[in-house]
């Protein structure tokens, strides 16, 4: 079986900030290392909100490289804020980014649930309402909405599963790392059946090129056992700052775990 791979541009956030990489460089990195799609973090697409020419250029870069857009990871468009005005502002942000995702023909967009770790019924209902408002608009635009186990209540697998079961059409961006302490492997088992994309998180590597902080072999095995057949996405966050090196090492680790 031929697997497809991607890397979220968040993996290169320090390189973007320092000027060592720009968006064209990110596209070129993906093409050079055989990634299958572009998974941009919205911070790296911000010019597209105001500059249609920049958006056209971003489409052209991808087309020239033979790479489609995959998932746009959006921060600030989450579903829950206690204050109703802030909540509405977040939902408007999500809709603005939906326009960008649709223009790039990205089939997926990550929108967080928001909210505190302690999930009450009232908060859960507001989160559900938000996704149920957003998903029809996304469907009309040809974009699937994903929630990630990222922060707040989604750090707990029970909350994430409950949300995915409650909201029709909501998928999961399955991050290997962002779970409450001590619950990671149990969360993998519970949430793998809902995965529509992954973020394999790595932090540091030993002399053999392995990251001792995460059992990628086990995570891959669980996902395959639960029927995962999507793109194997990476979000590497190297402690030593070597972002390009970490991306290549993480890709090699996943390929090895998948038997390639």
Q: Show pLDDT as tens, one digit a residue, over the chain (260 residues).
A: 689 999 999 999 999 999 999 999 999 999 999 999 999 999 999 999 999 999 999 999 999 999 999 999 999 999 999 999 999 999 999 999 999 999 999 999 999 999 999 999 999 999 999 999 999 999 999 999 999 999 999 999 999 999 999 999 999 999 999 999 999 999 999 999 999 999 999 999 998 889 988 899 999 999 999 999 999 999 999 999 999 999 999 999 999 999 98
Alpha-carbon dihedral sign for residues 125, 127, 130, 136: negative
pTM exceeds 0.95, yes or no: yes
User: How long is the chain?
Assistant: 260
Taking each helix axis as running N to C, give the angle between helix 243-257 and helix 216-225, from 0 to 180 degrees, rounded to the nearest 10. Answer: 50
The answer for residues whose C-beta is within 8 angstroms of residue 141's C-beta and 6 or more apart is 98, 99, 101, 102
Alpha-carbon distance 144 to 136, whole Å?
10
Alpha-carbon distance 158 to 148, whole Å?
13
Q: Across-strand partners of 200?
A: 234
What is the pLDDT at residue 83?
97
Alpha-carbon distance 144 to 138, whole Å?
6
Domains of the chain, each with CATH number or no CATH: 5-257 (3.20.20.150)
Alpha-carbon dihedral sign for residues 183, 215, 222, 174: positive
What is the pLDDT at residue 260?
85
What is the pLDDT at residue 208?
87
What is the pLDDT at residue 2?
87
What is the pLDDT at residue 162?
98
What is the pLDDT at residue 213?
85
């Amino acid at each position: 079986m031929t697997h497809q791979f991607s890397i979220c541009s968040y993996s290169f956030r320090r390189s973007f900030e320092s000027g060592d990489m720009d968006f064209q460089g990110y596209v070129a990195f993906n093409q050079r290392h055989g990634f299958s799609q572009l998974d941009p973090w919205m911070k790296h697409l911000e010019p597209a909100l105001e500059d249609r020419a920049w958006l056209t250029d971003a489409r052209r870069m991808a087309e020239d490289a033979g790479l489609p857009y995959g998932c746009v990871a959006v921060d600030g468009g989450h579903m829950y804020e206690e204050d109703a005005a802030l909540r509405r502002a977040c939902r408007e942000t999500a809709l603005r980014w939906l326009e960008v995702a649709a223009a790039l023909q990205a089939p997926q967009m990550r929108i967080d649930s928001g909210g505190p770790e302690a999930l009450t019924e009232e908060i859960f209902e507001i989160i559900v309402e938000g996704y149920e408002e957003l998903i029809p608009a996304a469907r009309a635009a040809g974009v699937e909405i994903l929630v990630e186990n990222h922060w707040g209540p989604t750090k707990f697998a029970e909350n994430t599963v409950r949300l995915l079961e409650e909201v029709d059409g909501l998928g999961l961006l399955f991050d290997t790392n962002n779970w409450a302490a001590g619950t990671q492997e149990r969360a993998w088992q519970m949430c793998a059946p809902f995965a529509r994309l992954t973020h394999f998180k790595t932090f540091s590597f030993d002399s053999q090129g392995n990251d001792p902080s995460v059992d990628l072999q086990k995570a891959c095995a669980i996902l395959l056992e639960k029927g995962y057949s999507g793109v194997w996405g990476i979000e590497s966050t190297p402690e030593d700052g070597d972002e390009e090196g970490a991306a290549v090492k993480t890709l090699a680790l996943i390929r090895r775990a998948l038997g390639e």
